[in-house]
Chain A
Amino acid sequence: MSYDDVEIEDMEWNSELQAYTYPCPCGDLFQITKDELKLGEEIARCPSCSLYITVIYNLDDFLADSKTTNNNNNTPNQPIAVA
């Protein structure tokens, strides 16, 4: 069973992990990549434990994103909020 439902806007883009992340109660981070999202995947898993969350997002937002090339160059090293 999914630990929680989390909207994509509440997840943070982590450039080091190249994934959207959300805090896991074990202390690690639930993670899902853009490629996974483009494939319609909605489960973000924690690499350290058995828990996972359901990501709520609009698939079209990510399919459109792939067409408008990669303009991610200004992403800082720090994880930032995807507002």
Chain B
Amino acid sequence: MEQQNDNEEKQEEQEHVQKIWSWGAGTEGQLGTGRLEDEHLPQLLLHHSSLLPWSDPISQLACGGAHVIAMTSGGKVLTWGRGTSGQLGHGDLVNSLCPKVVSSLENNFITHVSAGWSHSGFVSDDGRVFTCGDGSFGQLGHGDYRTHCSPVRVSYFVNKHVEQIACGMRHSLVLLKGCSGDQIYAFGSGKRGQLGISKDKVKSVGLPEVTYGLEDVKIVSIAANGDHSAAVSVDGCLYTWGRGFSGTPDAQFPQGLPSSLRFTVVAVGWNHALALTGEGEVFMLGGNYHGVLGDLEKMGPAKQLPADSREAILQKVPGLNDIKTVQIAAGAEHSAVVTENGEIKAWGWGEHGQLGLGNTCDQTSPQAVSLSHTPNEATAFKVYCGSGFTFVIMTPCDPSQT
């Protein structure tokens, strides 16, 4: 009886600690609502305390094609959504409607996760990297081009300390910790140059190879989605490679963006990239389709861009002028940000309700999402975008005082 009270108390406490909302495409169970339908408005995952059989809150989410990976502050991992390629790491090939622990990782303290179209990556505190899911393009890095339904350690990195992994549609990037020179490795499909490993066209590689062209810079974060790859250096330079933005040619190697702006983080979609500056400004690269999927006819033929003018396609996101942005996220064709005062804003493609505005309209500028919660300074919001869906996590800044 006492224990039951204890549990109840814990659950109540958790309600105060963290809240999670999801919306958008939901037919694979990726929203974690327990239903297989799209949601056009933010859904509070009411029973999320039962999702977590322990008390540590979620510290990071990763949203992929139609699956989600949640990492807790205690280094544990849960996954849900589409699992037909083994991307959930549960040892089977089935979807999961609700979050389930990735039990084979329980002996590791996971510190970084990434979700691709149909594969997943996990990094542990001691620098190991594990992958599972679809391996048919070599995107798992095991050299066998096979599908794995439980996370398998990528043995190539056995003598190296991995810090981050970024999973795209059919490729993966790995960032090593604290090393200059060969810091980024890539594997999987390379057809659009997204691996950055060779000046010749590479169809795919099944084992990690070094990404060239970043020997003299220190990279602090990496991102991958669709056929794009991106990285930000410690001095704020943004590098992209892979599929070209806005009709520009594909880049076989990392290309530094010619800009005086200093970026802190980058997020990539399938046709656009978002970059956040240290001053809290958001810039967008590309976006031919992004946000204008429904408006293409109205817009007429695409504007002819001057050849070799990458700066011309970097534009400041309109409508975020009066407030600083603290976090950015990119889905395949939509975007979401968190502003300094705790507001969530979304824009782009809206056909599945992924903007959370209660309809299926597209938006060309950021629109405020209503979360049935008054933002205040005591809470921190984080937003995450999957291909056609969105998650928000609200965590009190100082849980010990609630």
Contact = CB atoms under 8 A, between A and B. Distances in A.
Interface string B289-305: 10001001100000000
Nearest to A50: B351
A40 interface: no
Contacts of A49: 351-352
A27 B65 contact: yes
Interface in A10-55: 10, 12, 23, 25-28, 48-51
Contacts of B293: 3, 51
B25 A48 contact: yes
B147 A78 contact: yes
A80 B387 contact: no
B278 to A, nearest CB: 30
A81 B27 CA distance: 24
B169 A27 contact: no
Contact of A27 (B191, B289, B297, B388): B388
A67 B134 CA distance: 32
Chain A residues touching B, majority SS: loop
Contacts of B289: 3
Interface residues of A, number: 17
A80 B332 contact: no
B114 interface: no
B136 A12 contact: yes
Interface string B17-54: 00000000101101000000000000000000000000
Contacts of A79: 85, 134, 136
A81 B351 CA distance: 29
Q: Could you say which of B25, B137, B349 has the most chain A C-beta atoms within 10 Å of its C-beta? A: B25
B297 A1 contact: yes
**Closest 6 CB pairs between A and B?**
A25-B332, A27-B66, A26-B388, A27-B387, A27-B388, A81-B136
Interface of B: 25, 27-28, 30, 65-66, 82, 85, 117, 134, 136-137, 147, 169, 191, 270, 289, 293, 296-297, 331-333, 349, 351-352, 386-389
